[in-house]
Amino acid sequence: MSNPQDDLLLSLQSSLRNTLHTFGPDSAQYQSVKYMVEEHIAKTAVLAEQQEQKQQQQQNSARQTSASKEKEGKGEEEGVGIGSGDGSGNRDGSGSGRVMNLAFRPRGR
C-alpha cells in the first residue's frame, strides 16, 4: 500500500527531472520545483522524528506502568513478615521485622 507522502515525493521528483531537462538547472522553474522537493523532504523528516519520539514516550510509559504493577504485585507475593523475635514488632507491621518468602520444601526420602 503506497503512502500519500511517498506518492507526492515521487511526483515532485518527476517534475524536477522534467523541469531540469526542459528549462535547465539555472532556470526559475527548476529552482522552484527543487525548493518544493527539499521542503517536502524536510517536513517528512520532522514528521518521522515526531512520530518516533511519540512511540518512545508510549513505550516508556508502558514500561513504567508495568514496573509499578510488578512492584505492587511483589508486595503481596513477598511472603510473611517475621518480627525480630524480641517482641518489638507491632501488630500493625510497623516493627523492624524482616520479610521472608516461605517456599515449599519437599520431604526427604
Q: What is the pLDDT of residues 55-69, one digit of tens each?
A: 988 888 888 877 777
The answer to whether 60 touches 78, Cβ cutoff 8 Å, is no
pTM: 0.53
Q: What is the DSSP string of the chain?
A: ---HHHHHHHHHHHHHHHHHHHH-TTSHHHHHHHHHHHHHHHHHHHHHHHHHHHHHHHHHHHHHHHHHHHHHHHHHHS-EEE--SSS---TTS-SS-EEE-----PPP-
Reported as a single tens digit per residue, the pLDDT across 86-96 is 555 455 555 55
Give the pLDDT confidence score for residue 97 in this predicted structure: 59
Residue 6 has a pLDDT of 86
pLDDT tens sequence across 11-51: 999 999 999 999 999 999 999 999 999 999 999 999 999 99
